[in-house]
Amino acid sequence: MKRSDREKEESRRSITRRGLILGGLQLGMAGTLMWRLHDMQLNHSEQFHLLAEENRINLRLLPPVRGLILDRNGVLLAGNEQNYRVVIKRDDAGDIDLVLSRLAQLIDLRDEDIERARRDMLRNRPFVPVTVAERLSWEEISRVASNAPALPGVTPEMGLSRAYPLREDTAHVVGYVGPVSERDLAALEAPDPVLMIPRFQIGKSGVERMEEDRLRGRAGSQRVEVNAVGRVMRELDRVEGSPGGNVTLTLDARLQNYALERLHGHSAAAVVLDIPTGDILALASGPSFDPNLFVRGISSPDFNALLENDYRPLVNKTVQGMYPPGSTFKMVTALAALDAGVTDGQERVFCPGHMDVSGHRFHCWKRGGHGRLGMVSALSESCDIYFYEMAQRAGIDKINEMSQRLGLGMRYDLPITSVAGGLNPTRDWKRRNRDAEWRVGDTVNAAIGQGYVLTTPLQLAVMTARLASNSAVLPRLIRDPLERERPQLASLDLRADWLRLIRRGMADTVNDRRGTAYSSRVVTEEQIMAGKTGTSQVFSITRAEREAGIRRQEDLPWNRRNHALFVDYAPMDNPAVAVAVVVEHGGGGSSTAAPIGRDITLAALNGGDVPPLSAYPAPQRNRIRAEQIELEERLRRPEDMRISRA
């Protein structure tokens, strides 16, 4: 069919319009390309020149700033300080041995530093920077910078390093940080990429380890341009990370310092609890160590000295040390007998100095005996025979039940490493662990905190706080600075008349002339304390030793002597603090542990300060003042306790 002339004309116009549209689009695209080429060549030529073949872009992780650890008053326990260091990258260094040799001529590099750097470089990818030396002086870092052309791949940097300003005071609680190890990485399912940075440090013990996720923060990133020889040309952009969160502890740094120094010369532990809240005010284990040594890389001689010390400075005795509680356990036995209904506490038991049980003779510490006494006098004079009798009547099951009720045998959930649970022995426990049946003699031993019974100083402090308050006090170490109300503690529901007997016995222990801790009493009326001494046997003096003339504990080698213990709470009428002291191989609780416990208790009631002489009996004040002068020389001054402004 033939088209008309009109149809042919319309078809031509339609084709022309399409052609014009397509042509316009093509011209627009070409123009845009030409404008972009012009812009790139003229306006951005320098930028693209730097990104040319001889240059490349590196992405680096920026370690986050680690959070601070503070005491309850804001005193800095763990912080960060400037750290000048030198890093090296294997793929930029070329001849590594030559570069390290030149570097050793500029700064003090030990052979072990060089070997460690080599190992780190081989363990990581070639472009990952490895720390060769750190904590350099400004002069050393300046020498490295001025000799940069001769040190390819070497870069001087300034970063932050962990520091513990109070050194030994809080080492066992705060802990320390150290480089990430293969073992650390293997323990994590999805390790944070920042952990792959060579020599990056994480918590290794104490709060540093247990609160690692909160303290570490989130890494940032940095894009830099480097040339063919590894020199940084410029920083392209930077994304800052998030600093770690701060952790506030319940500790009082001044009291902690006082408690540790009061333990000076002993292998010992002291715990102070705030009774209404359960806050741990002091957790002192002596001797201690300087955690800064581990951050900086402890030398083999220093580490071996710590390991070989008989006083075990690396062990946190407050929560790791497990000791027979000795006579400090007698309150448990007394309450178990009252709860079992086998005594009313008024009954008097005769103590001839010994008791025969199942063919074995058990002695009282007072070989001539105490005569007839009731529960209050038995506690204050620490008569063993009375509690042998009560334990046999009540039985080990009741004793174990009361022990748990008072907080013994519990592993408390605290953010520090290696918290021990102690041991409340039961019939089943002995079958499983000793393959033997429980005997009456085992109950008699347990009555006075010997035999299989084991406790930690922290547990003894909790027991004392519970006796003083009739509340289920739970120790806590992390404090919320914004907390406005005290935590509500559950009641132990111990009968008031029972507790009156126990508290009178503890009060007379310290304040009655016949009490075992009378010489360690407090005379300030508003600070009078109640307590209990304890002595736990480690080894018996053998017959051969007696025949050789060894009669006293002082005649034995140090590590075979008895442990000395003391627990107390104060003030007696309105309990505020509970204290537990254990002195390893210290001899008698009344002669060694009780004076320490009194001093620490008074310091706690006086805000961590050295106690006033007016709190001590007048005949003791000259001697006490001489001891205080010596102690004050070791104590930290207030200006050493830096308040954090972070």
Side-chain-side CA neighbours of residue 308 (13 Å): 6
Rounded to 5°, angle at Cα 431 from 428 and 433: 105
Q: State how far the alpha carbon of 590 is from the alpha carbons of 189, 518, 586, 627, in Å.
A: 52, 8, 10, 18
> Does residue 106 fall inside a structural domain?
yes
- Residue 249 pairs in a beta bridge with 478
pLDDT at 161: 85
Determine which helix (DSSP H) or strand (DSSP E) holds 92, and give its type and residue range: helix 90-93
∠ Cα 499 501 503 (to 5°): 65
H-state helical runs in 496-542:
496-511
Q: How many CB atoms lie within 10 A of CB 298?
A: 19
Residue whose C-alpha is closest to residue 447's, from 403, 406, 405, 399: 399
What angle separates helix 440-447 from helix 330-340, to the nearest 10 degrees?
Answer: 120
Structural domain harbouring 140: 57-248
Which pTM value belongs to this model? 0.84
Answer whether residue 102 is part of any domain: yes
- Does any domain span residue 347? no
Cα(608)–Cα(26) distance, integer angstroms = 85
CB–CB of 531/506 below 8 Å?
yes
Q: What is the CATH number of the domain that holds 118?
A: 3.90.1310.10
Predicted local distance difference test score (pLDDT) of residue 544: 61
Which pLDDT does position 147 carry in this prediction?
A: 80
Domain count across the chain: 1
| Bond into 165 cis (ω within 30) | no
Does a structural domain hold residue 467?
Answer: no
Residue 19 counted as domain residue: no
Q: DSSP letter at 601?
A: H
**572 domain-assigned:** no
Contact 318, 270 (CB under 8 A): yes
Which of 267, 285, 288, 327 is catalytic? The answer is 327
Class of residue 524 by CB neighbours under 10 A (exposed 0-12, middle 13-18, buried 19+): middle
pLDDT averaged over 10-residue windows placed end to end, the chain, 646 residues:
61 66 74 71 60 61 88 94 79 77 80 78 72 78 80 78 93 93 80 77 93 89 65 70 92 97 97 97 96 85 92 96 97 98 95 93 93 96 97 97 96 94 95 95 96 97 98 94 79 96 98 97 96 89 58 76 96 96 94 97 96 97 96 87 72
Q: What is residue 541's predicted lDDT score, i.e. its pLDDT?
A: 60
- Catalytic-residue membership of 327: yes
pLDDT of residue 133: 77
Compute CA distances 373 → 376, 449, 586, whole Å.
8, 20, 29
**Residue whose structure tokens are 């104060």:** 570
Q: What is the chain's alpha carbon radius of gyration, rounded to the nearest angstrom?
A: 36
- E-state strands within 255-395: 268-274, 280-286, 349-351, 354-357, 360-363, 371-373
Residues belonging to the chain: 646
Give the pLDDT of residue 198: 66
Give dist(CA 136, CA 43) in Å, integer.
43
Domain-embedded: residue 86 = yes
